[in-house]
Amino acid sequence: KAGVTQTPRYLIKTRGQQVTLSCSPISGHRSVSWYQQTPGQGLQFLFEYFSETQRNKGNFPGRFSGRQFSNSRSEMNVSTLELGDSALYLCASSLALMDRNTEAFFGQGTRLTVV
């Protein structure tokens, strides 16, 4: 069974641009969570989508947004890119809304570099 697929794997953007990252969860999984990983801040939760609705949100500015489609695929958008947005963005899928009993399966991530 296919794992979590994130596209693209690598991306280079210029300051001020916007970017859209995509995540296809494991077949049958309905929840998608996004995390940002940077050397300085480590792994930080961005948001979780379940049944096309945002169910939880981390402490990120409004430039970071997302959505989920009816097939559970999710996209994450960052507008007005800043140098500090350079990071590995990880997507995790789970069968149901994330709780302590739900295992999250992570994709390989999208490495975003802002220049």
Cβ closer to other proteins: 17 or 102? 102
Give the whole-angstrom CA distance, residue 87 versus residue 81: 12
Give the number of residues in contact with other proteins, rule: CB under 8 A.
Answer: 25
Cβ closer to other proteins: 16 or 61? 61
Cβ closer to other proteins: 14 or 101? 101
Residue 12's CB: how many other CB atoms inside 10 A? 11
Q: Which amino acid is at 63?
A: R
Q: Residue 75 has what DSSP assignment?
A: E
Residues present in the chain in total? 115
Closest CB 109 distance from other proteins, rounded Å: 6
Closest CB 58 distance from other proteins, rounded Å: 7
Residue 53: name the closest of 26, 28, 32 by CA.
Answer: 32
Over the window 66 to 85, marking each residue x when it contacts other proteins by CB under 8 A and - when it does not, the resulting string is --------------------
Residue 88 burial (10 A CB sphere; 0-12, 13-18, 19+)? middle
Interface with other proteins (CB under 8 A), residue from 4, 19, 21, 76: 4
Cβ closer to other proteins: 70 or 101? 101
